[in-house]
Structure formats: structure tokens, C-alpha cells
Structure 1
Amino acid sequence: MIRARLRPALGVLVVVAVLGGGGCTASRVPPADQPVFVGSSASSTPSASPPPATPSVGVPSPAPGGTVAGATPIGTRAPVVDHGPRVGNKVALTFDADMTDAMLANLRTGRVRSYANLRILDLLEREQVPATFFLTGKWVQRYPEVTRRIAANPRFELANHTYGHAAFTRDCYDLPAQPVGELRDDVAKTFEVLEPYGGRQTRYFRFPGLCHDAAALDALAPLGVTVVDGDVVSGDPFATAWKPLVRAVVDHARPGSVVVMHVTEANAAMTDEALPRILAGLRERGLVPARLSEVLAAA
């Protein structure tokens, strides 16, 4: 089902302040049962037989006979996905890895020890839990070994979260906004940064703060990406307790849900505490974590 307009990224559960440019999202009300795609304009209609995406800047090369998950026809407005079909029992756990210039300055001065939460990776690897990581280019360059670790795990997918976590619209929390003319190059550069790491690379993309408008979506048309928002936002940036994160995810996750969390340790210090309880809560509800591409595949 195609919706006629974009939904705002803000909701009513937990509003997250962005301190020092590091936080990313605020919690939102879960959508109605039926919709899967959030349409980018009133004139958006699904093509009956879309042509295959042609190569573009930074497009990872698939295996022979394979395709790149999330790839869309080059030159069309990027589709926006909130969640997968409400069937089966799979949910997608996604983790954003933000990195702004202010965060890099915090690392250089020693104000912050780390924006890479290895305890999350340890748990996911130990429990063999699939996940998808939306990585900023600057985070990858700051943590190349961690990126290699993520790429080497066949249960993990890599996705694009911009180069420096700047906003693609005005008034997106406290993030500095980029000119529209620079948006395409920012995202293309991140794909180029990611490509040498291999692994399960995708054409999925997430806007900082989930903030986007028609101009931002049009700017990404040459890259053939699918924009992924998410219908279950944990609210983990700058959280001071783990219990609200568990409730935000476990209470609202449903078949096909896309859960938004963060792997940026200093700005999401409670995520590793909440994650084992989140996994247990999902199991109790009969929900099984899967890669984002698997959750969205039936769409």
C-alpha cells in the first residue's frame, strides 16, 4: 500500500535530545497494520515491472547471478520503507553508527572513550543473532577494524547512514543541515568508503534523525537506494536507564517490524544493557530477529 505523503519522524513515546550532534532518532507511534511503504509523493505509483538497477557511483558488485538488497531503479525517487509485511515472525534489528565532527573532536580530546559498543557485537555474535548496521562513513574510517568484524559476519548486513551524520533537511534536531546539492555526493562517498570491506553490502539508506522531504529523496534518485525509517524506535540515544528501551521495543515489535537502535557506545550507553532483555522479550512473543533484507523481501 502506498501512502500519499511522508510521515514526520517524530512521535509521542520518547523524544530524544541531540547533544553534540550524536543522537539520531525519536520514538514514534507504530503504524497501522497494512502499510509497508511510505510513499514519497501523491503521484508515486509502483511499477508493474521495474527495470533492474543500473550501475552507479559506489554500487557494490553482487556475487555472480546475485543482486544487491535494497537496489531500486536509477533515476526514480527513492522509496521509503517503514516496515516489512505483517506476516510470519521475523523482525529486523538495525543499529545506527553515527559519527559527526563534534563526536570525532570528543574522541581526540579524550572527552569520550568510544563510539563503538563492542559489547553489542559480542552479544550478537555469541547468540548468533542477525542484524543490519547503518554506518556513517566517518565512523567506518574511525573504526576500520570494527567495520571489518561486522563485514566478516555472514549474519550481518551493511547499510548507509551518510558520511558525517549531517541533516538532509532543516530543523532536524540540532544537526547541521547540508545543502541539497551536496546530498547525493555525501551518500555516494559513504558507499565508496564501505565497498572495500565486502560482506553483505546493501543499497539500504537511513537519514539522520529519520528527517527527509521530497527534495532529499529526489537527490538520492541517481543512487538507486531504498530509504529505511523503521516502525519501532528504541529511543536509546542518551538514555539513562535500560528498562524503557526494552519496553519501547518489546511492547511495539510485530511481524515485519524494523527496530532502530544504536551501536555508538557513549551516546547510547544503555543499549548493551537492554539488548539481552530485548532478545528475551522478542523470543517470548515468538518473534525472530532476521537481516533487514529478509524482513523486507516479501514486499
Structure 2
Amino acid sequence: MVDHGPRVGNRVALTFDADMTDGMLHSLRSGRVRSYANLRILDLLEREQVPATFFLTGKWVQRYPEVTRRIAGNPRFELANHTYGHLAFTGDCYGLPRLPARGMTEDVAKTFRVIEPYGGRQTRYFRFPGLCHDKAALDALAPLGLTVVDGDVVSGDPFAEAWQPLVRAVLDKARPGSIVIMHVTEANASMTDEALPHILAGLRERGLVPATLSEVLTGG
């Protein structure tokens, strides 16, 4: 389990979670929500040629296959695992419904299988919903040969109502080896695309360079 990479050099990892729950799917189907795929984030990262790592839920991939193909087709982007349906692996995890212990291993294995056909830069990185985990959850995933990734810089973008606090949250804590947690789920994190240009500019001013998670974790 890792929170950050080696505190050497000048690289930081920008990671974006793509959550998708049954409730979110219902909001899409009912028309209450327009999108949980923030394409403006992808536009900016592509335009600026910024590396990033995307932690994808299986249900998000199945809802947005074209966006997933776009991510996988970018050689600067990595694909990682964020469970199948964003269920909690512990009790009391931000109100998320809990995944039964007997289903934990298969949930994550299934997500790797869903992501795999898209190709691109596949990884064995995994992030728990809400970063909620305990020994039982870690033990359940041990057979899968994955690396559990938390992060040391939490942007706080879910349900944020202004972009400025996100910029401060990231730039106040980012340092060499940092793993920054943001979200690409537009309706639930609508300020992220507005904050991102300022985050990138602030990192540059501090001499910090975005890199893939693999590069940051290996110190490469």
C-alpha cells in the first residue's frame, strides 16, 4: 500500500478517479444528471500533453466505452482499478453501500477484466472507494497481485462549489513524489476542470512536473 513515491526529483502523479454507482447510473437514466465524464479534463490534459493515471470503476467503463478508449489511446495516460461499482470495502465509508467480504476479490478481478480489452497502459494499481480499507479488505485482494494506492494530496473536489479551495488543497501539500487525488466524474466534481489549469500552473511555479503514477512510484 502506498501513499506517495520517493521524495526525490521533481515529479508528482495526477490521478483521477472515475466513480460509478448504481445510484449514479439511475441519475443518468432519469435525466437528473447529464454526465459523469468530464471531457474538459481530458481536453486540457491532451492539449498540454500532461501525463495522468485514471482509476476506473467497471461500471463507468461500461457506461463510457468511447471515453475509456480515448483514455487508453493516449500514451501519456495509465489505466488503474477503482472497483466495479464503487461499493465500500469497510463499514462507515461515506455512506457507500457495503460490499460483502466474500465478494471483494471477484469485484476487483472483474474490474481488471472489464478494463483489459481497452489496451493502452494497463497497470495493477488499485484504489479503494473513499480510501476505506482494513486488514480484511487488504487480505481479500492479496491474491490479485495489485498495488493499493491511496494518496497524500486530497483535492477535495467531490461536490465542491468553488474551484479555488481545490487549487489551494493541492498546491499547499504537493511535493516531490506526491500522489494527487482528483475526480473525472463531472456531475459529482464539477469544479475540477476549472481548478486544473491553476493547479498545473502552480505546480510549474514550484518546479514540480506531472508524471504517470508508475514513474512517480519508481522514482523514474
The question of a shared fold, defined as TM-score above 0.5 by the shorter chain, is answered with yes
Q: Within 5 A, what are the aligned runs for 1:174-189?
A: 174-189=95-110
- What is residue 160 of structure 1 aligned with on the other side? 81
Cα deviation for residue 127 of structure 1 reads: 0.1
The reply on whether 1:280 has 2:209 as its aligned counterpart is: no
- What is residue 89 of structure 1 aligned with on the other side? 10
Cα deviation for residue 221 of structure 1 reads: 1.0
Q: Within 5 A, what are the aligned runs for 1:100-115?
A: 100-115=21-36
- What is residue 259 of structure 1 aligned with on the other side? 180
Distance (whole Å) between structure 2 residues aligned to residue 195 and residue 228 of structure 1: 19
- What is residue 234 of structure 1 aligned with on the other side? 155
Cα deviation for residue 251 of structure 1 reads: 1.1
Q: Which one-letter code corresponds to 2:74 in the other structure?
A: N
Distance (whole Å) between structure 1 residues aligned to residue 159 and residue 59 of structure 2: 20
> For 1:165-202, what per-residue CA distance to the aligned partner results, in whole angstroms no more than 9, with x for missing partners?
00000000110011111000000000000000000000
Q: Which one-letter code corresponds to 1:192 in the other structure?
A: R
Distance (whole Å) between structure 1 residues aligned to residue 214 and residue 36 of structure 2: 26
Q: Within 5 A, what are the aligned runs for 1:190-201?
A: 190-201=111-122
Q: Within 5 A, what are the aligned runs for 1:1-299?
A: 80-298=1-219
Cα deviation for residue 209 of structure 1 reads: 0.2
Cα deviation for residue 97 of structure 1 reads: 0.1
Cα deviation for residue 224 of structure 1 reads: 0.3
Distance (whole Å) between structure 1 residues aligned to residue 184 and residue 219 of structure 2: 27
Distance (whole Å) between structure 2 residues aligned to residue 298 and residue 276 of structure 1: 25
- What is residue 12 of structure 1 aligned with on the other side? none
Structure 2 residue matching 1:201: 3-state secondary structure: strand
What stretches of structure 1 move > 4 A for 4+ residues in a row? none
Q: Which has the larger radius of gyration?
A: 1
CA RMSD of aligned residues (A): 0.7
Distance (whole Å) between structure 1 residues aligned to residue 90 and residue 154 of structure 2: 20
Q: Which one-letter code corresponds to 2:3 in the other structure?
A: D
Q: Any stretches of 5+ residues in structure 2 without a counterpart?
A: none
Calculate the TM-score normalised by the size of structure 2: 0.99
Number of residue pairs aligned between Structure 1 and Structure 2: 220
> For 1:213-235, what per-residue CA distance to the aligned partner results, in whole angstroms no more than 9, with x for missing partners?
00000000110000000000000
Q: Which one-letter code corresponds to 2:167 in the other structure?
A: V
> For 1:135-194, what per-residue CA distance to the aligned partner results, in whole angstroms no more than 9, with x for missing partners?
000000000000000000000000000000000000001100111110000000000000
Structure 2 residue matching 1:170: 3-state secondary structure: coil
Cα deviation for residue 298 of structure 1 reads: 3.2
Identity of aligned residues (%): 85
Distance (whole Å) between structure 1 residues aligned to residue 95 and residue 162 of structure 2: 23
Distance (whole Å) between structure 2 residues aligned to residue 167 and residue 274 of structure 1: 28
Structure 2 residue matching 1:121: 3-state secondary structure: helix
Structure 1 residue matching 2:193: 3-state secondary structure: helix
> For 1:33-62, what per-residue CA distance to the aligned partner results, in whole angstroms no more than 9, with x for missing partners?
xxxxxxxxxxxxxxxxxxxxxxxxxxxxxx
8 A contact 2:9–2:219 mirrored in 1: no
Q: Which one-letter code corresponds to 1:168 in the other structure?
A: F
Structure 1 residue matching 2:122: 3-state secondary structure: strand
Whose relative contact order is higher, 1 or 2, with alpha carbons under 8 Å and at least 6 apart?
2
Distance (whole Å) between structure 2 residues aligned to residue 146 and residue 298 of structure 1: 29
